[in-house]
Amino acid sequence: MRKLIFVLVTISSCSPLPESPYFSNTEELTIVSQCICQNEQSVSLAGNCDLTCSNKSHDELKVYIEAEISEKAKRELEVETLEQWCELEREDISESPACLLEVKNEENSEFHEFDYESLKENRIVFELGELSKNINYQSALLEASSGVQSTFINFLILKFKNDEPKLNSTVLISEYECLRNGNVDAGEAENFGFNFYFYAQGPKKPVKEFDNLKCWQDPNSNNFEDLFSFKENKFSIWSPGDQSFSLNSSTLMPIEKLIKEKSQQDFHPHTLFYPIHVRERASEEEEEIPLLGYLMSSFEDEANPGIHKCLSQSDSNSDNRLYQTIGTYLEFDTIPLYLAKRFSPSPSEEVENTILTTKREIFETGGWYIKEGSEKVQISQDGFFPLEHSRSRIQNTDTLYFKYKNHYGEFEYQIFHEEIQAPHDKRIGCIPKI
């Protein structure tokens, strides 16, 4: 079976720039990735930086940037790499070219410029000095002689060192959908869609149409509103850059170690919190799947055996020592996250689309149901069958369905969980309620 799994694509965000005799920032240079490292750790809200930072043992705060030259810039400026772009002597400009990193806060009350430490091909490194922690910044590459800038990236430096881990570092996730045909008159099989996920607050890349998938109602637009289906800030998860969740295959995460010590409860590594990975683009090739963030496990409700719940801050008052301890570190209540699949209606292919969704979204389109023969049995949000049904509550052996809306209407999805001992409603974990 060809599996196209739910996908992470990051989209570039831009700020208004001064007029330039050259291209606008979106047409000349795009920041593809930005990792801020210190003492072998990723210290910013950015995905997939753990590997980049793992061999960076410096005490200083440094940013590692990879950039991409646009096709138009390659053609008209005759440059192929960031290094050539930084060293390009432009017509009618007497000053020598120089690449800098501009950093400013959201209020424009704090502004920094940094000279690069090293530059090779499409990668550039800057030492950042003493930027404040837990402050929202924007950064962009600047070619100083011309004033031409790259795309901006939003970032925030997390405060880790000498701090006790806390469960307060989250990222918002947005979703869009690309359709295989994109033709309003096409049938359901031809317009089968695939959903993609990205960090709502960057780093970001342009939405790209690939293979025979189309993403835009207007092919000449790059406004999110013109995507076939776009859901901004759909849900939040714990940040992939939060060192409270630093992964090691055989040991407890820092936050798990702290909870174990304070609760005096024993558990295996990565059973309280665990990572969720998504692909960066639809592909049949075997490749490393990037980390999207972290989920919290759900727990069996002691008052309702067989029923799972997501913890809240009020659980700090529970009689359960483990719940008490986790509750003291929670800065948000948590809600269930579900994984659901839709299969192609075409009998000639075995293709699936996987989405991530919340209970609120499921019940916006009528809620979940099971099938008994040709009949659909609606189930309440809490998992109860109608009073006249032979059973009172759903179980993890039930196959749950719901309707999911896209640009062309509502389509049936099935809720999935890979484990046999899944929670009663097949939730894959719990996420911050924000």
Per-residue pLDDT tens for 333-369? 899 999 999 988 877 777 888 899 999 999 988 999 9
Task: Provide the pLDDT for residue 120.
Answer: 94
How do residues 245-299 score in pLDDT, each as one tens digit?
Answer: 876 656 788 888 888 888 888 888 778 888 888 765 555 455 567 788 899 999 9
Task: Provide the pLDDT for residue 280.
Answer: 56
d(CA 399, CA 348): 24
> Residue 12: pLDDT band by 50, 70, 90 thresholds?
very low
How do residues 379-395 score in pLDDT, each as one tens digit?
Answer: 999 999 999 898 899 99
Task: Provide the pLDDT for residue 288.
Answer: 66
Task: Provide the pLDDT for residue 18.
Answer: 32
Residues 404, 342: contact at Cβ < 8 Å?
Answer: yes
Residues 386, 378: contact at Cβ < 8 Å?
Answer: yes
d(CA 418, CA 412): 19
What residue ranges define each of the domains in the chain, with the CATH number in brackets? 12-156 (2.60.40)
d(CA 396, CA 386): 18
Task: Provide the pLDDT for residue 1.
Answer: 29
Task: Provide the pLDDT for residue 205.
Answer: 57
Query: Which residue did the predictor score with more confidence, 310 or 304?
Result: 310
Query: Which residue did the predictor score with more confidence, 220 or 160?
Result: 220
Q: Which range has the top average pLDDT, 127-141, 215-229, 294-308?
A: 294-308
The label of the residue with tokens 């432009």 reads: 90
Average pLDDT over residues 124-143: 86
Q: Name the least confident of 16-20, 182-186, 189-193, 367-371.
A: 16-20
> Residue 417: pLDDT band by 50, 70, 90 thresholds?
very high
Average pLDDT over residues 20-43: 71
